Chain A
Amino acid sequence: MIELNTLTYLFMAVAGVVSLIATYLAIVENDLVKAVIFSALQSTVYTIIYYLLMAPDIALVYIPVSVGLYPAVILFLIKKTERTEGDLEGSGGDSG
């Protein structure tokens, strides 16, 4: 039988790894709309971590900001520029 504490820490570790993957994908993704979605996924996982670390106040402000307001602002701005990221010389930008 796994202890409840261990289970909480395990869950936090999994959430942390998912956030790491989402952050990496958000950085290397060339399609900015997809990058925003990855970024929102990372924030959603962070909300879970905040909740598990017993910070419900931060979780409450993080849900609307990270899932609603922040992707919306970025999407509005992407709409005003271009959807895909790229250099003038051609492809690239995958090195980051």
Chain B
Amino acid sequence: MRIKKLLVLSSLIILVLTFSLAFTKGALGYYPLPLPGVRTLAYWYLITTLNPRYPSFTAMSPEAVTAIVWDYRGLDTLFETAVFFLAIVGALALARGISLKKALDNANNKDNGKGLSLICKTATRLLTPLIIAVSASIALHGHLTPGGGFQGGSAAAVAPLLILVIFSVYFLLSKGVAEKPMLVLRTAGLIGIYLTALAAVLIGLVTGLNAYVFQNQPKLDAPVGIPAQVSNALISGTLFFFNLSEYLAVASGFTLVFMLLSIPEEIVRSFISGEAHE
């Protein structure tokens, strides 16, 4: 058994190494290899991403990736967010009728005596604010340094997850992190994303100038733009608001799903069979 495993594994490794060697030595020609230099498209993005000399092309953000994600290719990210939103809606629909509050009352569970040891709990108490702070800095500096809304949001979701595993879902509920506030936060994030996407158009409607959906900086035929700087701090127009809204939506969406997943199976069953409604 063990020898068979080792044989399969070593032949797999030899196969992969042989193929890698063949590719790097140009066995399939040099076409599949990445080019050593910067491609024309990448050069174009890099030269315009923070360049006030091309006012109608720049995104006014030193972080080219965030600029591409939320400005140059913003519509793709909007639909990506919509897919995530629909996935959470699906999870919520599966868990419809299951109330965490009722589960708490029914099971008569208080958080005393639940969860892992005191060492784990103390470490989690110390770590949680750090995780939130780091995730906020990833998200809110997303237009300046690597990172962004989704990165920050998924990092922030680790904090409630840790609390769920190390304490219990009842502890999280007693701290006010319940379904309703999370739903409200997530909806606020999504509304923020849509309002930011429409911000230029709304300004254009008020001022009577031409403007586009998802417009960040002023363009040649659309002189409306979101200011790139606020009191000398670079916010890169819409990018900061997109990151902030996405951060809220992703963090609360993940938290919501984890809370629903962590309900004990017996309680879910009792809700499905309808006993808990009486």
Contacts and interface: CB of A to CB of B under 8 A. Distances in A.
- Find the residue from B146, B148, B150 having the highest chain A CB count within 10 A: B146
Contacts of B261: 73, 76-77
Chain A interface helix/strand/loop/mixed: helix
Given A17-B17, A69-B154, A69-B254, 15 more contacts: A20-B16, A21-B13, A24-B8, A24-B9, A28-B5, A57-B65, A57-B66, A57-B147, A60-B146, A61-B154, A63-B155, A64-B151, A69-B161, A76-B262, A80-B265
Given A24-B9, A77-B261, A80-B265, A68 B146 contact: no
Given A57-B151, A68-B161, A80-B265, A24 B65 contact: no
B174 to A, nearest CB: 21
A29 B29 CA distance: 38
Interface residues of B, number: 29
B161 A72 contact: yes
B16 A68 contact: no
Interface residues of A, number: 24
Q: Is the interface of B mostly helix, strand, loop or mixed?
A: helix
B75 interface: no
B270 interface: no
Nearest to B64: A57
Interface in A28-84: 28, 56-57, 59-61, 63-65, 68-69, 72-73, 76-77, 79-80
Nearest to B161: A72
28 contacts: A13-B17, A13-B20, A16-B20, A20-B12, A20-B13, A20-B16, A21-B13, A24-B9, A24-B12, A28-B5, A57-B146, A60-B146, A61-B150, A61-B151, A64-B155, A64-B157, A65-B154, A68-B154, A68-B157, A68-B158, A68-B161, A69-B154, A69-B161, A72-B165, A72-B258, A73-B261, A76-B261, A94-B1
Nearest to B20: A13
